[in-house]
Structure 1
C-alpha cells in the first residue's frame, strides 16, 4: 500500500525523482480510492446482512472502519498547507493508523484464543473496543504534547523523521506485527496438528476396516 509505505519511511536521506513522484501520486489516489470503496462496501454488507452479532464480525467492522477513515484522512489531508490543519492531520493519521494495527492485534489474539480451548477466557467487545480505540489516542496525544514544536518538518503532514518522533508510530507497528507473526506461527502449528490427527484417524479407520475384512475372510476360509 503506497500510503502506508510513505508513513513507514524512517529516513529522508533519499530523494524520489519528480517524474516518479507524479506516478506514485496517481497510483496512490487510484489505489486508495478503490480501497475506500471496497471497505465501505464491506461495512455495508456486514450491516445489511446483520452479521454484527458475532465478536469476530464486529472486529472486522471496526478494522474496516478505522482503515477507511485512515485512508480518507491520508488522501484528503496529507498535503495540507496551513500549519494548524497539517498538525491536525498528522495527529489524526497517527491515531487512525495505530487503531488499524490495534484491531489487527485484537483479531490475532481472538483467533489465538479460539484455537486454544484450554484457555477459559475470551475477547470481550466491551474490553476490546476501549483498548483498540483508546490506547492509540493516548499515544497520539502524548506524542503531540512532547513534540508539537517539531511537527511539520516534512513535505507532507506526518511525523518528522529527523527527531525520532516517527518511532512513536513505527515502534508500536513493529511490535504489533511481531506479536501477530508469533500468534500466526502458533495458530498454524495448531491447525497442522489437527490436520495430522485427522489424517491419522482416517488412516486408522481404513486400517481397522481392512483388518476386519481380512479377519472375516480368514474365518470364512477356515469354515469352508
Structure 2
C-alpha cells in the first residue's frame, strides 16, 4: 500500500491515481476484505492527491478524467471495508467516511451527517435495508464525502453544458459480502451550495453515470435520471432511487438569456395555440362551402390534422413546463411520448399532403378515391408516428435512457432523439423533391389544361402551403437539433433564440399560409361570419346583370 505519498508533478499524480485504480480493481475482482487501517491508508493517499495545494499540478486536459478514475477507485475500495464495530468513522483532510454495519436486527433509518463541517447529510429508510437483510446476513452501508474533488472535475458532457459543480461530492454504497447486488434502494441527501451568491433556481441533483456517453473521450457523464431536486434557501435536497456518487450542479452563466428565451417561448406558444384554434374554427365554418371536390377534401383533411397535431404537441410542450410534471418521472415520460407522437404526426401529415398532390398531378387519369385516400392517410399520418413512438418508448424506457434529464423530451444523446430526427428529416427531404416535380408539372400546359379550374387552384394552394411550411418545419427542428450539440456560449445562445422563435410561432405560420392567404377560404369565412360579400362576386353579378339587360 502507498503510504505518505507526495506527488508534486502531474506525472506523479496520474501515476499514483493509476496505482490506486489498479489496486482497487484487483481487490474487487478477488473479493478481498480490508480492515479500517488499510482503508484509512488508501483514503489518506487519495486525500493527499486531491489536496488544494496540488490542484495546480493536475494536467488541465486530464484532470477531470483522472479525478473520475480516482472517484470510482475510492467508491469501489470502500465497499471492501470489513468494519470491527457497528458504526465507523474514518477522517482524512479531504475525504471523510462514515458508515454502519447491519445484521438481522434493524429498527431505524440509516442517517449520517457531515453538516458540522460540510453541510452534507444522507438518509436511507430502514425498510429498504430490512428488505436486503432478509436475504443476506451482513450489510455494510458507507458514505464518503469528498471535500476538494469537485474542484478537479469540469462539467464538459452533452447533458449539462454551461453547468458547474456547486456542492461537494458524496458517495453512498452498500456492501453485502455476497454476489447479491443492492437494487431498489432510495436515498435522501442534503447539500449546502458552495457558491451562495448563485441563484438556486436551476439547481439539479445529479449522479455519475459510468455507462453514459459524455460526447468526450472519457466514458461516463453526469445524469439526473431517477433524482428529484428540492431547493430550500441555500440547501438542496436530493431524493434518488439508486445509490452511487452524487452532487449538485448549477448553471454557470447568468440566467437572463434563458429567461428571455423562456418568455419568447411562452408568448409564442400562446400565439401558436390561439392561431391553431382559430384555424380549426375557420375550417369548421367554411368546410361545406370550400370542399367541393376530392382534391379539396384531401387538402382540408390534411390541414385539419396538421393543425390538430401541432396544437396537441404545443399543449404537451406547455404542460411539460409545470414543476409538478418535471418532478413526477412517469408523468414526464408520458408527456415525452405524446410530444414525440404528435410532432411526428405533424410531419407525416405533411407527407400525406405532398404525396396526394404528387399523385393527383402525375396520374391524371387514375384519381384517388376518397375512401382509399382517407384510409391510407390516417394509417400513415397517425399509424406510423404511433408505431415509432411506441417502439422508442418500449425500447429505451426500461433502459433508463428514454427522456432528457432536464425537460420532458427525448434524450438528446444516443438513440431516442434519432427516432424523431430521422423520420422528420426524411420527410422534409421527400417533400422538397415532390415540390420540384409538382412545380414542373404545373408549368406544363397539357396537365394544367386537362384539370378543372377549381382543382388546379386547390393544387396551387397545396403547393403554396407545402412550399412554405416544409422549410419552416424543417428549419425549426434543424435548429432544435443544433441546440443539443456542443457549441460555444455565443453560438448556443443564437441557436436557442432562433429555435424558440421558430418553434413557438409554427401555429401562426399555418394560419397565415392555409387560411388567411387562401382566397376562397377567406372570402367564405367573411361572408358567413360578417356577411361581407367578396368584391369579385359583386363585380361578377353586376357584369351578369348588364349582359342580360343589353339588347340582343
Hey, what's the Cα distance between the residues in 2 that align with 1:134 and 1:144? 15
Structure 1 residue 102 corresponds to structure 2 residue 348? yes
Structure 1 residue 21 corresponds to structure 2 residue 258? yes
- Cα offset, 1:176, TM superposition: 0.4
Which residue does 1:127 correspond to in 2? 376
User: Residues 184-216 of structure 1, C-alpha deviation per residue, up to 9 Å, x if partnerless?
Assistant: 111122223449x99xxxxxxxxxxxxxxxxxx
Which residue does 1:214 correspond to in 2? none
Bigger relative contact order, structure 1 or 2, given CA contacts below 8 A and separation 6+?
1
Hey, what's the Cα distance between the residues in 1 that align with 2:433 and 2:403? 36
Hey, what's the Cα distance between the residues in 2 that align with 1:13 and 1:115? 49
Which residue does 2:410 correspond to in 1? 159
- Cα offset, 1:78, TM superposition: 4.7
Moved over 4 A (4+): 11-17
SS in 1 for 2:405: coil
SS in 2 for 1:157: coil
Which residue does 1:144 correspond to in 2? 393
Structure 1 residue 33 corresponds to structure 2 residue 270? yes
| Structural mapping, 1:185-196, within 5 Å | 185-194=436-445
Hey, what's the Cα distance between the residues in 1 that align with 2:376 and 2:306? 16
User: Residues 122-179 of structure 1, C-alpha deviation per residue, up to 9 Å, x if partnerless?
Assistant: 3611221122111111110110010002134431011112222100000100010010
1:72 to 312, 315, 319: 315
Which residue does 1:3 correspond to in 2? none
Hey, what's the Cα distance between the residues in 2 that align with 1:177 and 1:69? 21
- Cα offset, 1:117, TM superposition: 3.8
User: Residues 80-116 of structure 1, C-alpha deviation per residue, up to 9 Å, x if partnerless?
Assistant: 2210111001100100000000001001111112222
Identify if the C-alpha distance between structure 1 residues 76 and 143 changes in structure 2 by more than 3 Å, giving closer, same or farther: same
SS in 2 for 1:49: helix
Hey, what's the Cα distance between the residues in 2 that align with 1:61 and 1:130? 16
Hey, what's the Cα distance between the residues in 1 that align with 2:408 and 2:359? 38
Hey, what's the Cα distance between the residues in 1 that align with 2:321 and 2:433? 33
TM-score (norm 1): 0.76
SS in 2 for 1:150: coil
TM-score (norm 2): 0.32
Which residue does 1:58 correspond to in 2? 301
- Cα offset, 1:62, TM superposition: 0.8
SS in 2 for 1:158: coil
| Bigger strand fraction | 2
Identify if the C-alpha distance between structure 1 residues 184 and 151 changes in structure 2 by more than 3 Å, giving closer, same or farther: same
Alignment RMSD, CA only? 2.4
- Cα offset, 1:21, TM superposition: 1.1
- Cα offset, 1:13, TM superposition: 7.5
Which residue does 1:213 correspond to in 2? none
2:279 to 21, 24, 42: 42
Hey, what's the Cα distance between the residues in 2 that align with 1:186 and 1:12? 42
User: Residues 16-45 of structure 1, C-alpha deviation per residue, up to 9 Å, x if partnerless?
Assistant: 952211111111111111111111111111
